[in-house]
Structure 1
Amino acid sequence: MDSHITIRPAGPDDIPTVLALFDEAVAWLVSQGRTGQWGDKPWSANPKTIALVEKYLTTGSAWIAEIGGQPVGTLTLTDGPGSYIAPVEEPERYIHLLASRHGTGAGATLLAHAAEETRREGISLLRVDCYAGDDGKLVAFYERNGFTRTEAFRAQEGTWPGQILARRV
């Protein structure tokens, strides 16, 4: 398979593709014994996660990363966070629905693309929130990609440890 990653816009027709990428990510996390982030059930079998993907792919700027024409990652940008995170007092772009095939480099490539899109739109703040439990590898991934921790939070009735991170672009 060609290792060159290309990024293309995504839309409502890509909902099954994005759900498949999340199903793959959940299966990989389960194989690592890491079910705290997204549980152990496929996103494509959960009405709430299906609705979440439908929402962001119809209202945000969604992207698909591909290698050799095969989807290996996805990310969506919006003008702000979900309802569980306080907005900020300046224009921002907020990352939602980032998933990538482990070991492809698609996650880092999508984050670089998100930074470039944010900069191109004349906005200097890019934020994301993520699962901060278990071994902290996800937070460290964002930090390796230029993000800085801003504040911790608890989601899902206080059971899910989260971290907000920001990057100036």
Structure 2
Amino acid sequence: MGLLDAAVAWLASRGRTGQWGAEPFSAVEARVAQIRTMLSERTARIAEEDGEVVGLCVLADEPLPYVDPAPVPELYLQLLITDRDRSGSGIGNILVDDAVEIARRRGVTQMRLDCYAADEALIGVYEKFGFRLESRFTVETGQTKAWPGAILRMEI
């Protein structure tokens, strides 16, 4: 939760609250429950440095409910988060490379993820990891504006 809280604070400090808002993840029980479910029901890979958690990748066989299932078996990257203080250190690359190896071992032909699409820089980060923009979508959240998302895909 510390990584997610730090990411929200970092985004909010830059006026980028559209993705996750400005309230810490740990302060929203529904988000805490979502992360607990992810960690207990899916494949979680944790990056550590000197005993400290510096990254997390959560993988599943299917996307979250607001994304259409793929017509082929896949590995879905449901969460990728790294320590903001270590930005640019390669932690994200290590976690994505690990996910690719898991996908290969499972014999799937693709890996997908979805992300906040109003931030083109975020899409660019995933493209640097080897994903390609596949489509865009919106999710009605009950707020004034729908949440804009993008689906990115990587062939394995």
CA root-mean-square deviation = 1.2
Q: Which amino acid in structure 1 is aligned with residue 112 of structure 2?
A: R
Partner of 1:67: 49
Unaligned runs of 5+ in 1: 1-18
CA contact (8 A) 2:54 2:91 kept: yes
Q: For 1:24 and 1:107, how far apart are their aligned partners in 2?
A: 16
TM-score normalised per structure 1 = 0.84
Unaligned runs of 5+ in 2: none
Partner of 2:93: 108
Q: For 2:94 and 2:140, how far apart are their aligned partners in 1?
A: 29
Q: Which amino acid in structure 2 is aligned with residue 160 of structure 1?
A: W
Q: For 2:62 and 2:24, how far apart are their aligned partners in 1?
A: 26
Q: For 2:131 and 2:138, how far apart are their aligned partners in 1?
A: 20
Partner of 1:21: 3
TM-score normalised per structure 2 = 0.91
The CA deviation string for residues 137-169 of structure 1, in whole angstroms up to 9 with x for no partner, is: 110001111101111000243611110001011
Query: Percent sequence identity over matched residues?
Result: 41
Matched residue pairs, number?
A: 150
Partner of 1:160: 147
Q: For 2:117 and 2:48, how far apart are their aligned partners in 1?
A: 27
- Structure 1 runs of 4+ off > 6 angstroms? none
Q: Which amino acid in structure 1 is aligned with residue 9 of structure 2?
A: A
Partner of 1:142: 126
Q: For 2:6 and 2:128, how far apart are their aligned partners in 1?
A: 23
Bigger relative CO (Cα 8 Å, ≥ 6 apart): 1
The CA deviation string for residues 21-74 of structure 1, in whole angstroms up to 9 with x for no partner, is: 101111111122211111101111101111110111111000111122211111
